[in-house]
Structure formats: structure tokens, C-alpha cells
Amino acid sequence: MQACNRAILERMQSPVALIPQLAAHLIAAGGKRLRPLLTLASARLCGYEAGPDHQRHVGLAACVEFIHTATLLHDDVVDESTLRRGLESANALFGNKASVLVGDFLFARSFQLMTADGSLQVMAILSDASATIAEGEVLQMTTQNDLSTPVERYLEVIHGKTAALFAAACRVGAVVAGKGKKEESALEIFGTNLGMAFQLVDDALDYAADQQVLGKTVGDDLREGKITLPVLAAYAAGSDEDKKFWERVIEASDQEESDLDHALKLITQTGAIKATLDKAAEYAEAAVKALEIFPDSELKDLLARTVLYTVHRAH
Amino acid sequence: MQACNRAILERMQSPVALIPQLAAHLIAAGGKRLRPLLTLASARLCGYEAGPDHQRHVGLAACVEFIHTATLLHDDVVDESTLRRGLESANALFGNKASVLVGDFLFARSFQLMTADGSLQVMAILSDASATIAEGEVLQMTTQNDLSTPVERYLEVIHGKTAALFAAACRVGAVVAGKGKKEESALEIFGTNLGMAFQLVDDALDYAADQQVLGKTVGDDLREGKITLPVLAAYAAGSDEDKKFWERVIEASDQEESDLDHALKLITQTGAIKATLDKAAEYAEAAVKALEIFPDSELKDLLARTVLYTVHRAH
């Protein structure tokens, strides 16, 4: 992971000073580096022997982190967020323009890293994932403010915007190790399910988290009229009066100061948070199950514990 | 070119309906398709024989157009433009969010097209160009409102934001034909110089064009405090009073209704448009010269005429 951090710092450089400045703000803000970690761990789980001449997993892990960072920068512009990981977001600090353009740079840089790696299979996996992410984000935009969005549509959105990159990060690790289709597919299933669980928990936390812990503003999703499972579940289980509340707040975007507290109350009362976390637990279970084909090892344990951590950070 | 248009229409599809809708708005708005044309022409000039099994140049030309379209979408967000090619710009019509995300989609799609093509050399050329474009755009942002920007810095900006993709579009054509380093390098030089000329003329037109002809709002660059050669030349050649005018309008962004007319007057009086077009003519000449290594042909003539058209559309 240290080698990966070094690669990230090295490859985000540019003679245009604002690029490393802005990228450093986000990258130094200390994300969990979950996605590159998945690439490294997947490669190792498939028996990839790292060494001075075997550093492909490191470059590709950095590449995955760049794709993720690029989407974060663009997300914050799209969502007009002012906080990210407990710090002022890049768009709030450097402006939307810089965030859009540095996101583009990091995205291009990730493709330079893939080209340097030289595997067409890896390139196919990561360029497909990049297209799927963008589709997921656009789909999410089209569901905004729309309480009639079916749960399936919501799941499709989070599959695109989150689970696709988790899956690709894992699968790329298996490809680098050259272990075989079975392992590749198992790790893809693992990543997909972990990503789904991760996003469901994230969406639950937006209505439940202590702002200090989460490092983001609670209620962001409500303010934006974002359609997530907590809202869909609370709406479905709500009384006529509750439904009117949601329609005003989410569909008509007619919001007052006190609406967040009321929304939190309804979401808790109707069991919507629990429903969301139960759904996350289902995906988490499927993720752990996907690891069954691998022999027991410390690393396999670590991956399983990552899944549990993801789900239980909400408790 | 018809095959290329078909490829563009086919590959901008997505199950997420907003994506083809927005992309079609821009692509149907009838750009000149100059960049993909350069890929097709370069391939042919290097003897690439198109046929049912030899369609690489078509896919890659579409890929170049997607990269260009993605940057246009993001540019319009960054510049807050409301017109593009004489129509309402995508950000004005669909919103900034959709423009950022569909730009990301097209960019990812372009890398899917490259992956399908399968040449690592092509991928290196186009991913390098993509990073250079983003660097050029960020550099341009950092020169905004700064009249002390050296002309060299401005040239670096337009090299990044425009010439790099022209150069890559041409070079990719040569690579597909597999002709050799000499041809590849000649076409890269051709593309670079054509791109420089193209952007210089574009920057001149922003202070000279008939809005109807250009399909963009004259004075956009002034309003944004964009540093282009017409402004730098007019500022350098201006009286003390003129300098104060530019400092108020460009540096302090303190603009009145009548400022555009006065700016146009100063730019004409000081010969700044002529200076910009002369510079463009130098690059145009270098572009035509780069074609010398190729035997005379109708196609070579066409490319040379493209250069002349680029320069003379301003007259």
C-alpha cells in the first residue's frame, strides 16, 4: 500500500501547478483507499508474487484510485457539496471549473497508467467500468426528486455509480495474477456485492450519521432530493400525511429548516434505516460467500473483515 | 466519413436515455467533424486501404470525435457558455450536471473504442493527448484575468487545449496505416501546426466575427476575462489610457455594456487582429510544409486546402 501511495503521489504530478495542488487536497484528505486496496489484495489472493519486477498491481491500484478521485471531483460539482471527508470539498475551495478539469486530468492519467501496464484485458475492464459509472451517475440524476423511482432503479444506480468500480478493482487484481476465469469471476462477484453493501450503508449514514464521524454533512441527500433506499422505504411505509411531507420536501424541493429533523424521525420510525442496512447485510453476505472458492488465509480473512467493517460502520 | 458518422451515432447509445439525447444535441448540431476527418485523411494519405475488414480508422476517428465532444461539454460548463455552434449549449439546455456526466461518459466510451481497436501505441497517443488537453485547460484557467501572461504561456495553453488533439488525430491515422516513423512524425507536425492556426483564428473571431456566421456569442472571451492573443497584443500596443481600460475590464472584471464595442475598436486600431491572424498564417505555412514528404495527390491537396480554409474563414 505504501508503494501504491508513492505511485499515486508521483503520477498526480504535472507542470501545471494547480493540478497536484488540487489533487493533493483530495488525496491527502485521507480517503480510505479502499478501491486500490481491493486491487492489491485481490492480486495477492490470486497468488500474484510482488517483487521489483512485479509491480503491475501497484500501478493498476493507483489507476483505480485516480478513476475514483476523478468521479469524486465531478460528483461534488454535480451535487454542489461543500464538504468531503470532513474538509472543505475541492469545488468549494478551488471552484467548480478547477474540479471539472482536474477530474478530467486524473481520468486521462488513469488511462495513461493502463496503457503503461499494457494489458488490453485490464483496459477493457476499467474502460467498461468508467462508462458504467458515468451511466450510473446520469441515471441517478434522472431519478432525482422522483419518489416513484422503483427500488430496482435505485439498485441499478448504485450498481453503476459504486459497485462497478469495486468489481473492476477486484477483477483487475485477479487478471494481473493470471490465475484463471474462476477466480476472476469470484472476485468480480465479491467486489460487486461489497460495493452494493458499501453504497447502501453510505446512503443510510446520510440520515443517521454523526457528522463528525462521517466527515460529510448529514442531510445532503435530502437537500438534493436524492432518491435513496432510506427515502423510498420511508415513503412506501409512510401514512398519507408522511407521504405529503416527502412529496413536498423531495419532489417539490420545498424545504424548511426543520424538515431534516422530521425526515430523520420518519426514517427511524418506519424502520427505513433498518431496511436499508438489512439489504446491505444481504449483499455483504453474498460478498463473503464469493470468497469461498479461495483456500483459507490471513488475506481472505482480511477481505471478509473489510466487508463486515463496511456494514458495521453504521452501527 | 459516412461510416464514421454511423459509428459515432451507434457508439453514443446507452440504455440511459438522457445520454444519447444530450450527445445527439451536440453531435447533430453539426460540428465540422474536423478532427475525425483528419484521422481518416491521414490514414489514407499513408496508404491505408479501407475495406470491410479494414475499418480501424473509422472507429478511431469516432474515438477522436468523442474526446473532442467530451471536452466541449466540459468547456461549456467551465466557461458558462450559453451558445455552441449557433444553438443553445448543452449546459444551458440540460444543465451543468448532465453536461459534466455525459462528457465523462463520452470520454470513457472513447477509451472503450480504443480498447476495441487494440493498439497500445494508439492508446498511448490518445491518452497522452487527453492528459495534455486537461493540462492546457487548467493552465488557461490560471491565466484568466492576468494581462501579464506572456505570449509563450498563451501559446502553451492553445497547444494543450487544441493542437494536441489535432496532432493526435493525425498521428493515429499514420499509425493505423503502419507506414513508418517519418510519416507519423510529419503528420503530427502537420496536426500541431494546423491546431495552433485553428485556435488563433478562433480567438481572433471572438473579437471579429459576425455572430451568425460563427454560431457563438462575440465577446464571450472578453466577458470571461480570457487571455488570448488579440487581448495581449492590444494591451501591449495600447496607450496608458488603453491599458487602464484593459486592466479594468479584464483584470478587475469590472465590465459595462459599452466595453465590448470599445474593446473591438482598440483591438482593430492596434492591429491586434492582424497580428493574431499573421501568427496563425505562420503556423498554417508550417502545417502545409510538413506535408512535403508525401507525394502529390488529391488528398494532399485537400489537407492543404483545409489549412487554408481554417485560416481564411476569418476574412
pLDDT digit string (tens) for A7-34? 888 888 999 999 998 888 877 666 778 9
Per the structure, the complete domain to which residue A99 belongs is given by: 2-312
Least confident of A105-114, A300-309, B77-86: B77-86
Question: What CATH number is attached to the domain comprising A120?
Answer: 1.10.600.10
Residue A213 has what pLDDT? Answer: 58
Residues in A touching B100 (Cβ below 8 Å): 74, 77-78, 100
What average pLDDT score do residues B150-166 get?
98
Contact A124, B118 (CB under 8 A): no
**How large is the C-alpha radius of gyration of chain A?**
20
CA distance B101 to B108: 11
pLDDT tens sequence across A256-297: 989 999 999 999 999 999 999 999 999 999 999 999 999 999
Contact A26, A69 (CB under 8 A): yes
Residue A27 has what pLDDT? Answer: 75
Which amino acid makes up residue A198? Answer: F
pLDDT at B231 over 80: yes
Residue A61 has what pLDDT? Answer: 95
Contact A272, A237 (CB under 8 A): yes
Instruction: Give the nearest partner residue to A78 out of B100, B108, B131, using CB atoms.
Output: B100
Residue A9 has what pLDDT? Answer: 86
Q: At A77, is the pLDDT very low, low, confident or very high (cuts 50, 70, 90)?
A: confident
Q: Inspect the interface and report whether the beta carbons of B124 and A115 lie closer than 8 Å.
A: yes
pLDDT at B87 over 90: no
Residue B122 has what pLDDT? Answer: 97
CA distance A196 to A157: 10
pLDDT tens sequence across A120-156: 999 999 999 999 999 999 999 999 999 999 999 999 9
Residue B69 has what pLDDT? Answer: 93
Q: At A209, is the pLDDT very low, low, confident or very high (cuts 50, 70, 90)?
A: low
Residues in B touching A15 (Cβ below 8 Å): 135
- Output the average pLDDT for chain A: 91
Q: Which three cell numbers stand for residue A261?
A: 429533523
Percent of chain A scored above 90 by pLDDT?
70
Instruction: Give the nearest partner residue to A138 out of B19, B74, B137, using CB atoms.
Output: B19
Residue B85 has what pLDDT? Answer: 62
Strands, E assignment, B27-117 = 83-84, 87-88
In degrees and rounded to multiples of 5, residue A199 shows phi and psi of: -70, -40
pLDDT at B287 over 60: yes
- Output the average pLDDT for chain B: 91
Q: Which residue of B has its CA nearest to A111?
A: B127
Residue B89 has what pLDDT? Answer: 75
Is residue A179 exposed (0-12), middle (13-18) or buried (19+ Cβ within 10 Å)? buried
pLDDT at B229 over 60: yes
pLDDT at B213 over 70: no
pLDDT at B275 over 60: yes
A261: closest CA of chain B, how far (Å): 28
Instruction: Give the nearest partner residue to B141 out of A15, A77, A98, using CB atoms.
Output: A98
Number of domains in chain B: 1
Residues in A touching B114 (Cβ below 8 Å): 123, 127
Least confident of A189-193, B52-56, B122-126, B276-280: B52-56
pLDDT tens sequence across A154-183: 999 999 999 999 999 999 999 999 989 999
Mean pLDDT comparison of A53-67, A160-174, B264-278, highest-scoring range: A160-174
CA distance B307 to A153: 49
Q: At A83, is the pLDDT very low, low, confident or very high (cuts 50, 70, 90)?
A: low
What average pLDDT score do residues A241-269 get?
93
Residue B209 has what pLDDT? Answer: 59
Residue A212 vs residue B50, higher pLDDT: B50
Expressed in percent and rounded to 5, the helix, strand and coil fractions of chain B are 75, 0, 25
Alpha helices in chain A (DSSP H): 2-11, 18-28, 34-45, 56-79, 90-94, 96-117, 120-143, 151-158, 164-177, 181-205, 211-214, 220-224, 229-237, 240-246, 259-269, 272-290, 298-312
Residue B271 has what pLDDT? Answer: 94
- Specify the DSSP class assigned to residue B295: P
Q: Which residue of B has its CA nearest to A70?
A: B104
Task: Return the closest-CA partner of residue A185 out of A162, A167, A161.
Answer: A167
pLDDT at B24 over 90: no
pLDDT at B262 over 60: yes
Percent of chain A scored above 70 by pLDDT?
93
Residue B284 has what pLDDT? Answer: 97
